Amino acid sequence: MTTDFSSSLRMVSQDPGAAKPDPILTTSNVRRSFGGLVAVDVDHLEVQRGVITALIGPNGAGKTTFFNLLTNFDQPDAGTRVFEGRDLSGIPAHKVANLGMVRTFQLTKSLSRMTVIDNMRLGATSQEGEKLGKALLPFTWKRQEAEVTARADELLERFNLSHMREEFAGTLSGGQRKLLEMARALMVQPTMVMLDEPMAGVNPALKQSLLDHVKGLREQGMTVLFVEHDMDMVQEISDWVVVMAEGRIIAEGPPESIANNQAVIDAYLGAHHDSALDLGVE
């Protein structure tokens, strides 16, 4: 069922740093160290447009740090990141979001003392009412506000959060917060969504619907890059898998091939070689 989308990647070689036919995001020689620890050292990575790419790797591999570097929430020591043909060096994080690349956080950032619907409304970009000069003139933004609210309500419906509309986001359960954060990111109307462990702490029933949402994004033409430890999910929805270990990209390829890759098996198993590798493939 994923073949429609992954077909664009059929001819791509399965070496780390392989060139893609239509990359939306390209990074070269991105390095970031904390003191003596090199957290990220990625020679080259291209992310194909319009597909779902999974970024996997053991704990501490540098996935979140890499996400931070891609979205300019953190600055690399060296290297270039190009998104949709634009060099991201020196661009503040909020501008990266406005360019169409929106991320979520591993530790959810729900705005606790704001209602769910206000969390959603906040996500809309280019709001006239966010200009101080116009804040006091409601007639200049009332219409846009209504449009934003309508769009927010639609998304809440899709993410099964409508009944929590007026509640403070701080009262949501962990799984509901993950849903809210993803829905809120979509309010930005991004071209690329970066999800850092969207399934962590989400119950299995909800997981299936989240999976469907992520697939839905691809159907709408969005590019998805997500970090995930749940290999069933990776196998089910990703078109391409990138594996990180100790800051480097050690393998990439279609999900079926990754579980048999020797470098990946070594990275995951590390010291205890006797246990079997379960990457969700029989």
Partner 1 sequence: MDFLAIFENTVRGLIGEQFIYFGLAAIGLNMHYGYTGLLNFGQAVFMAAGAYGLSMAVVSLGLNFWLGLVLGIIVFPLILSLIMGAPTLRLRADYLAIVTIASSEMFRIIARSPSLDRWTGSSDGLTAFANDFYEMSPFQPGRRYLFGLFIGNQMWVVVVGWALLATVVTLVWAMMRSPWGRVLRAIREDEDAARSLGKNAYWFKMQALMLGGMFGALGGMLRAIGTQSSQPQNFITDVTFFAWVALILGGVAKIGGPVLGAAILYGVLNFTDIALRQMVQSGIMPESIMDGTQVGQVRFMLIGLGLVSLAIMRPQGILGKKEEMALDDH
Ligand X SMILES: Nc1ncnc2c1ncn2[C@@H]1O[C@H](COP(=O)(O)OP(=O)(O)OP(=O)(O)O)[C@@H](O)[C@H]1O
Binding of ligand X at residue 223 (CB under 6 A)? Answer: no
- Applying CB under 8 A, the residues found at the interface with partner 1 are 71, 73, 92-95, 97-98, 102-105, 109-114, 118, 121-123, 125, 127-132, 134-136, 138, 141, 145, 168, 170-171, 184-185, 187-188
Which of Mg ion, partner 1, ligand X, none binds 59 (CB below 5-8 Å, type-dependent)? ligand X
Q: Compute the least distance from the CB of residue 2 to ligand X, in Å.
A: 24
Binding of ligand X at residue 139 (CB under 6 A)? Answer: no
Q: Compute the least distance from the CB of residue 107 to ligand X, in Å.
A: 10
Q: Compute the least distance from the CB of residue 206 to Mg ion, in Å.
A: 21
Binding of ligand X at residue 199 (CB under 6 A)? Answer: no
Which of ligand X, partner 1, Mg ion, none binds 57 (CB below 5-8 Å, type-dependent)? ligand X
Report how many residues bind ligand X under the rule CB under 6 A.
Answer: 12
Residue with Cβ nearer Mg ion (116 or 224): 224
- Applying CB under 5 A, the residues found at the interface with Mg ion are 63-64, 106
Residue with Cβ nearer ligand X (37 or 135): 37
Residue with Cβ nearer Mg ion (63 or 177): 63
Of 17-25, 62-70, 124-132, 159-167, the segment contacting ligand X by CB under 6 A is 62-70
Of 4-12, 34-42, 82-90, 132-140, the segment contacting ligand X by CB under 6 A is 34-42
Q: Compute the least distance from the CB of residue 63 to ligand X, in Å.
A: 3
For the chain, give the secondary structure using H, E and C.
CCHHHHHHHCCCCCCCCCCCCCEEEEEEEEEEEECCEEEEEEEEEEEECCCEEEEECCCCCCHHHHHHHHCCCCCCCEEEEEECCEECCCCCHHHHHHHCEEECCCCCCCCCCCEHHHHHHHCCCCCHHHCHHHHCCHHHCHHHHHHHHHHHHHHHHHCCCHHHCCCEHHHCCHHHHHHHHHHHHHHCCCCEEEEECCCCCCCHHHHHHHHHHHHHHHHCCCEEEEECCCHHHHHHHCCEEEEEECCEEEEEECHHHHCCCHHHHHHHHCCCCCCCCCCCCC
Categorise residue 262: left if φ over 0, alpha if ψ from -120 to 50, beta otherwise: alpha
**Residue ranges in contact with ligand X by CB under 6 A:** 34, 37, 39, 57, 59-65, 106
